[in-house]
């Protein structure tokens, strides 16, 4: 059982309590962001997507929408780079677009700390070691996020996720989680100023994972 008592009991209790407090504290900010999204990009304010949760099961996460709904003559959405304007780039740099995922933490689909939830279609592409990231709840932030986030290539990012799963089974797992949360706080501030790590090099968002 990955993570043992800490992961299955203590960490879950902390996640629930922290998510509830943060949602109450940040509710005015979330309402303000949502209204701004509607004013700038139109409805809906929140974009829902299907991702792989613990054990690869299907979960649905929400993000404040950062891209327009513009489509080409064929009716298909335009490339990300064409739909991501200045407001959307700022929203991603500030990480405010991720705030709705606190609800996923509260209901148990996610954790504050863990590998980021990735599309379901990726689960069949992982190597056995990369697939270990599915043994734990995905998180708002994680070991890979504080080591480069989307600026990392896929092999490096997924290896960092696998290392986190290994550390979750050690006595110092709580220290690792606290360290990740502290570093994330400062990283988000730096990221907001510089934009580093928000997107993959040469891409508007993140490149498709292809093994």
Structure confidence by residue, pLDDT tens digits, 144-183: 999 988 888 999 999 999 999 999 989 999 999 999 999 9
Q: Does 22 have pLDDT greater than 90?
A: yes
Contact 112, 18 (CB under 8 A): yes
* Best CA proximity match to 50, nearest among 61, 41, 65: 61
208 half-sphere exposure, CB direction, 13 A CA radius: 4
Quote the tokens at residue 160.
């960092």
pLDDT of amino acid 193:
76
pLDDT of amino acid 7:
84
pLDDT of amino acid 204:
58
- Separation of alpha carbons 117 and 60, rounded Å: 10
pLDDT of amino acid 194:
72
What global pTM score does this model have? 0.91
Quote the tokens at residue 179.
């360290």
Contact 45, 91 (CB under 8 A): no
DSSP 95: T
- Separation of alpha carbons 187 and 175, rounded Å: 18
User: Of all residues in the chain, what percent carry a pLDDT higher than 90?
Assistant: 69
* 76-107 confidence digits (pLDDT tens): 888 877 788 899 989 998 999 999 999 999 99
Contacts of 27 (CB under 8 A, 6+ apart): none
């Amino acid at each position: 059982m990955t993570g043992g008592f800490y992961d299955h009991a203590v960490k879950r209790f902390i996640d629930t309590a922290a998510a509830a407090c943060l949602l109450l504290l940040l509710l005015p900010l979330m309402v303000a962001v949502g209204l701004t999204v509607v004013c700038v990009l139109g409805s809906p304010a929140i974009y829902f997507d299907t991702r792989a949760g613990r054990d690869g099961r299907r979960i649905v996460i929400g993000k404040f929408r950062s891209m327009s709904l513009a489509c080409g003559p064929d009716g298909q959405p335009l490339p990300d780079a064409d739909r991501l304007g200045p407001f959307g780039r700022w929203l991603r740099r500030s990480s405010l677009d991720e705030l709705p995922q606190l609800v996923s933490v509260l209901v148990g689909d996610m954790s504050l700390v863990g590998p980021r939830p990735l599309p379901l279609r990726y689960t069949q592409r992982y190597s056995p070691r990369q697939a270990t990231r599915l043994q734990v709840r995905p998180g708002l932030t994680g070991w890979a996020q504080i080591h480069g986030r989307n600026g990392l290539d896929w092999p490096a990012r997924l290896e960092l996720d696998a290392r986190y799963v290994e550390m979750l089974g050690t006595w110092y797992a709580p220290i690792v989680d606290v360290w990740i949360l502290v570093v994330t706080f400062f990283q988000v501030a730096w990221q907001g100023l510089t934009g580093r790590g928000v997107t993959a090099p040469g891409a508007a968002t993140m490149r498709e994972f292809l093994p």
